[in-house]
Amino acid sequence: MILRNAQILFNKPMSTELYHLGLLCPDIAVSIQPGQFVMVRIRDSFDPLLRRPFAIHRLYPNDPPGSLEILYKVVGKGTRLLTTMQPGNSVNLLGPLGRGFRFPNDNGFVLLVAGGIGIAPLPYLAETLAAHKHKGPFVLWFGGKTSGDLVCVQHFKDLGFAVEIVTEDGSIGRKGLVTEHLEPWLIQQDELPKVIYSCGPYPMQRSIAEMAARLRISSQLSMEALMGCGVGACLSCSLRCRPPQGAADPHYANVCQNGPVFDGEEIIWE
Ligand SMILES: Cc1cc2nc3c(=O)[nH]c(=O)nc-3n(C[C@H](O)[C@H](O)[C@H](O)COP(=O)(O)OP(=O)(O)OC[C@H]3O[C@@H](n4cnc5c(N)ncnc54)[C@H](O)[C@@H]3O)c2cc1C
Ligand code: FES
- 201 CB near ligand 1 (under 6 Å): no
Query: Ligand 1 pocket: which of 199, 224, 229, 261 to mutate (most atoms <8 Å of CB)?
Result: 224
Whether the per-residue pLDDT at 105 is higher than 80: the answer is no
Residue 255's contacts (CB-CB under 8 Å, 6 or more residues apart) are 98, 223, 224, 225, 227, 237, 238, 239
Q: How many angstroms does the Cα of residue 54 sit away from the middle of ligand 2?
A: 14
**CATH among 3.40.50.300, 2.40.30.10, 1.10.1240.10, 1.10.1330.10 for 2-97:** 2.40.30.10
How far CA 117 is from CA of 113, 214, 253, in Å, comes to 11, 26, 23
Mean pLDDT of the chain: 94
| Domain 110-266 in the same topology as domain 2-97 | no
Among 38, 231, 239, 241, say which to mutate for ligand 2: greatest number of ligand atoms within 8 Å of CB: 231
Determine the distance separating the centroid of ligand 2 and the alpha carbon of 255, expressed in angstroms: 7
Rounded to 5°, angle at Cα 199 from 259 and 115: 155
The atom of ligand 2 lying closest to the CA of 235 is: 3
Confidence of residue 49 (pLDDT cuts 50, 70, 90): confident
pTM: 0.95
Q: What is the pLDDT of residues 236-265, one digit of tens each?
A: 999 999 998 888 888 999 999 999 999 999
Q: How confident is the model at residue 47 (pLDDT cuts 50, 70, 90)?
A: confident
Over range 28-36, report the average pLDDT.
Answer: 95
Label residue 8 exposed, middle or buried (CB < 10 Å: 0-12, 13-18, 19+): middle
Q: How buried is 81 (Cβ within 10 angstroms: 0-12 exposed, 13-18 middle, 19+ buried)?
A: middle
**Domain range 110-266, CATH architecture:** 3-Layer(aba) Sandwich (3.40)
pLDDT digits (tens, 9 = 90+) for 164-197: 999 999 999 999 999 999 999 999 999 999 999 9
The string of DSSP codes covering the chain is: -EEEEEEEEEEEESSSSEEEEEEE-HHHHTT--TT-EEEEE-SSSSSS-S-EEEE--EEEEETTEEEEEEEEE--SHHHHHHTT--TT-EEEEEEEESB-----S--S-EEEEEEGGGGTTHHHHHHHHHHTT----EEEEEEESSGGG--SHHHHHHTT-EEEEEETT-SSSEES-HHHHHHHHHHTSSS--SEEEEES-HHHHHHHHHHHHHTT-EEEEE-----SSSSSSS-TTEEEEPPPTT--S-EEEEHHHH-BEEEGGGB---
Is residue 231 pLDDT above 90, yes or no? yes
Write out pLDDT tens, residues 81-98: 999 999 999 999 999 999
pLDDT at 48 > cutoff 90: no
What was the pLDDT predicted at 135?
82
For residue 73 and ligand 1, the question of a CB distance below 6 A is answered with yes
User: Domain residues of the chain, as ranges?
Assistant: 2-97, 110-266
